[in-house]
Structure 1
Amino acid sequence: MRKSRSTFRITGLSLASVLLAAGLSTGAAGPASAQTSAVRMDYTCTTSAGPTVALTVWVVGGLPDDGAGPNSVSYSSYSYIDVDLDLRELRPALPVGSGVRLDGDSTATLDAHLTGPDGTRTTRAAFTLAPTWITDTRSAAVRARGAFPAQYLNTPGAYDLHVDDLALTLRPERADGTPLGTITASCSHDPAQNDVVGTIQSQAAHFDRPIRPDALRVVSATPTSVTLAWDARSWWNPTAGYNVYLDGGHVVFATEKQTTITGLTPDTQHRAKVVTVDVRNSWSNPSEGLIFTLPRA
């Protein structure tokens, strides 16, 4: 006889009581903020420039909080895992001289695997580098933002996120925009090193919430502003509006599926997300993050 999976259903209004019963605090009817965890990785990189590079990387994961409790998701829903990189000591791969610039033309990929109750699955995150001027590769920190593809953690249980190999494609340029060629690097770490960014708990539960927005996109951008748009549809109750977040902080409540954010800094990288709010103040899970870079002044 087939054994049926035991699940329970939580509505938006009963979620707060579940959190309290679990000993977790809850505020308004909004979703829990993503829990940040990090691991330091020491990579040895083979570069197209010739020398071998010792690279220190902080891998910072924004693990989803889509269930009842930190770093939890429903087994029946997809989830997004954000990940950022803080790369240090890019020497001697870069021809620094009087200083070079790296920006979104430079990219990276990070291999990873999830180990859980259904075995091991591999995944890969793609990154774009934030605009960075480098004058000293010893002290300069190059940052990049990315995300793993949507994950369905179909079997309830704990899933550990392990970091694997890193690949870089760097396209440095001079201050006047003159390109300095392309440098690639293939990086591996000591397999004995701790490589777990964090653990995600897949729960045998359904969470009845408004449908999360999707297709978040940039409509237009200036050096100090950006106009975002997204797609969304209503749930059981009519939609009241949308909370828009930039780099984890709330910036605006929009009543339409589009908004303009002003007062930003030129030549900076950001991650935006949107949450649907219905007329009963139930909140959806956050949309997939959108990473964008504003133009130079």
Structure 2
Amino acid sequence: MRQHGGTQRPGEKCFAGGVLVALLLSLLPWQALAADRGAWAAYVNYVVGDSVTYGGKGYDCRQPHQSLPGWEPPNVPALWLEKTGSVDVQAPTAPTGLTAPSKTANSVSLTWNGSTDNVGVTGYEVFANGGASAVATTPGATSVTVSGLTANMTYTFTVKARDAAGNRSAASSAFSVTTNPPSTDTQAPTAPASLRSTGTTSTSVSLAWNASSDNQGVTGYEVFTNGGSTAAATTTGATSVTVSGLSANTSYSFTVKARDAAGNRSAASAALSVKTQTAPVGEVPSKILVGYWHNFDNGSGFIRLRNVSPKWDVINVSFAEPTSGATGGTIGFTPYNSSEADFKADVAYLQSQGKKVIISIGGANGQVRLETATARTNFVNSMGAIIEKYGFDGMDIDFEGHSLSLDAGDADFKNPRTPVVTNLISAIRALRDRFGAKFLLTMAPETFFVQLGYAFYGGSCISCDNRAGAYLPVIYAVRDILSWLQVQDYNSGPIIGLDDQYHTMGNADFHVAMTDMLLAGFPVGKNPNNVFPALRPDQVAIGLPANNNAGGGYTAPAEVQKAVNALVKGIPVGSYTLRSNVANNKGFRGLMSWSVNWDAFANYEFTNSHRPYLDSLK
């Protein structure tokens, strides 16, 4: 089992470069999933365990590779093994009853009757005017609104159904509809009145106002700060909003405008000046660098805790680990290469410098399964004692491997019933109650346990690994006390994003797609009735390896910053379209890295590159 971020403990064999990456690819837990990638296509990254169809036959991937023309499965038996059993090559039936219940000058709402399939329909694709590329897709819903159309223009739509094996149905019967003429509504809404502040923190201001009126109807509001032309926050009709990502002890001037369906904007409301609160002593900055500090030496070099780079805001001491087996619940921690007195002094020293020091639990070697109430009690008592003994500011949940999984049929992430999940939730809340509101709670799951839950959810997907998405019920249950989530965007297989495309680690596209899922929310298991809600932007950080030695998926600083620019400034990366609101994403928390030690090993490339960049975003 791999270590968090590719660490090795003393005595383990250390692999270099591509050999390490290949080994990680062969051992990652998602390999057991045998992901069904549908019809084989060129220029796709395939990994061991992927299944494809080609020429009416099924194939399993034998080696990770990017496909090229001429590498069709029958041509390269070294890469693909033909399945000997049955393969799903039956396409769904064509959708029927395509119609448009409503339309505007720039959009058409479509509905249709669902298709049937021998295994199951997984989604639909909508095409316009005979085009080869879908203008809209759904994860299973039989309705969609196609927007961005031209007024008074006739469009001919068709719909195709698809299944998990990638089979597409024949197109539905074509349906033609003409968008409405250009709107004649030129009357703007009235300006919002009585803009007021309903609360402040050191980084946010909550605002409310009286509703505007309009001859056709108000569709939303836009909030502007300091006379800017780009909205800092928007609503779809609500007359209140919280603007986050602000600086402490700073005055801001706010105005609000109303808009209607024709795009008319009202005059601005009267300006309101509000000052944010002074930051409490020791408060975590709005933009942070989080680094894991090794409580062991794996070849990256030992650093005394007090000697970590001052550019880190939060230091995660890794790891506290079980002392009584994975299911006993008792956790222990002994400082490496340090006396207890010196380690306590180092923690206090960093805290005196305004840093936060957190104890991280688990890692790949530290499997923790709280299967019983006794294990839960042991966990709470032992972790509480460790936190009190060393004066840690909080705890980080870094459960990997088989620590979290879902029982068969546990399909509702909002109401989980699997003991290892419910006991962990209870234990986290008990420790938070014990240490109070300033106690930091963070989590560092792998993409397998979070974003993979969009395509496959372990409790409801019979053919999936029961660990897929298993962090989701924990995150949801403690989201009110969660300081931030720092998903490991590394040592990951290709993951399906909200665009229903696979994204591969090591570039800006991957970080944008994975982070956008957390900022926008997503239907779990592609079930539109089971949506994991978006986290606040200040609850989201991106996890990265400090360099190539630290793990698979290293991303150069320039690519990382391209990703953050896309999220918080709206500067596009490739063809991916954000689902989250750029104006709200300014509160994005920052970057996490495995690790402090590997950063120092690489002459501080990570901290020297990203510290000034994050400071520029404040």
TM-score where L is the length of structure 2: 0.15
Asked which structure has the greater RCO (Cα within 8 Å, sep 6+), the reply is 1
TM-score where L is the length of structure 1: 0.31
Return the structure number with greater helix share: 2
